[in-house]
Amino acid sequence: MHHGYIFRGPEGVGKQRFAITLATLLNCAARPEFKFIDGCGTCPSCHKMQTLQHPDLLIVEPTGASTTIKIDSIRQVSKFVRNHPYEARYQIIIINDAHRMTKEASNSLLKTLEEPPAWVRIILVTHRPNQLLNTIRSRGQFVQFKKLNEKVLMSLLNKAHSDVDRQTKELAIKLAEGSIARTISFIEDGVLERRDLTYEVLHTLSADNPKTISEAAALLLKSKDRAHATEIVDHLQLILRDVAGYQMELSRTENPLIKNFAQNSRFDALCDLKYQVDEAKNMINRNGNTTLVFEWLLNEFADTFQQKTKQRVTT
């Protein structure tokens, strides 16, 4: 095995879990040397790895209020690798959200990556590999992780939440964009109720009434959490996709709201609205004012879904 790997791919698809699985496999006491098979899962080494209590496992990540990995954390890595493993074949270092390392921390890690001891394996986990220093990228082997397909997500959900109805699971899967972490989060946090609220709000919108727009934004944004705001944008994105699919006769729905929106909007306007939804999500991620972003976006939705109605009135 190579001494350094960079696990890259979308958030919530299992990169960190696989890093722990690989660490468990490498140090399984029951695994014969030079034979690449799964860890037994029952030996003391496997148990300690899986519970993150192994003395030869070091996990580095942003902690507390910090959003970065500072040089002091990477100095722990340098200190960690100076000694031989206590119990295992290899010392495993996993750096989660590796793109959050400061420049000083990255340069400090580079020294270890360039000349690591033979018993060290380093795994960097990131969903933003382009933010890593080029010198770090060139010294690690990339392993690409992809979004999980709906069949896999449903299988995982059936194990984790067998008591949840299928409709809720299917909605959570659609919103999660291939991430099991987001899928479970949606399930546990009342995704269906908030989706229904989004439908209700859109149904009452009027682009000619600024008060309606501001009240709708306030209703949707009861929580000021940006993750919540992003989820609502995801709901709007999914509704938009359903409307476009209905117009193009790619899907059929009994939802009266989707049918009404499809009958009262033009396809080219839906395409424009898609770009505006994407931009709204970008603005929220860049710490934009969520209330202003939502008022603008909801106004665009109201205007788009009343276009044909307005045209008929004008004619």
Alpha helices in the chain (DSSP H): 15-27, 44-50, 71-80, 103-114, 134-137, 150-160, 166-176, 180-188, 191-203, 210-220, 226-247, 256-263, 267-285, 290-304, 307-314
User: What pLDDT sits at residue 55?
Assistant: 95
Give the lowest-confidence range in 70-74, 110-114, 248-252: 248-252
Report which of residues 111 and 204 the model is more confident about.
Answer: 111
What is residue 243's predicted lDDT score, i.e. its pLDDT?
A: 83
Pinpoint the residues of the chain covered by CATH 1.20.120. 190-314
DSSP 115-135: S--TTEEEEEEES-GGGS-HH
For tokens 């809720």, what's the residue?
A: 168
Taking only the tens place, the pLDDT of each residue in 4-58 is 999 999 888 899 999 999 999 999 999 887 788 888 989 999 999 999 999 999 9
Q: Check pLDDT > 80 for residue 144.
A: yes
- Based on the number of CB atoms within 10 Å of its own CB, is 122 exposed (0-12), middle (13-18) or buried (19 or more)? buried
154 has a pLDDT exceeding 50: yes
The pLDDT value given to residue 65: 66
Give the pLDDT band (50/70/90) at residue 310.
very low
Predicted confidence (pLDDT) at residue 308 exceeds the cutoff of 50 = no
Match domain 190-314 to its CATH number in 1.25.40, 1.10.287, 1.10.3430, 1.20.120: 1.20.120
- Give the pLDDT confidence score for residue 295 in this predicted structure: 86
3-class DSSP state for residue 303?
helix
Check: CB of residue 135 under 8 Å from CB of residue 17: no
Tokens of 184: 């479970």
Phi (first) and psi of residue 120, to 5 degrees: -105, 135
CA 285 and chain centroid, separation: 13
Q: Please list the residue range(s) of the chain that carry CATH number 3.40.50.300.
A: 4-144
The crossing angle, in degrees rounded to 10, of helices 290-304 and 226-247 is: 10
- C-alpha 59: how far from chain center: 20
Instruction: Supply the mean pLDDT for the chain.
Output: 84
CATH entry, 4-144, from 3.40.50.300, 1.10.10.60, 3.10.20.30, 2.60.40.1230: 3.40.50.300
Instruction: Return the number of other C-beta atoms located less than 10 Å from residue 90's C-beta.
Output: 18
Kindly state the DSSP code that residue 54 receives in the 8-state scheme: -
189 pLDDT tier (thresholds 50, 70, 90): confident
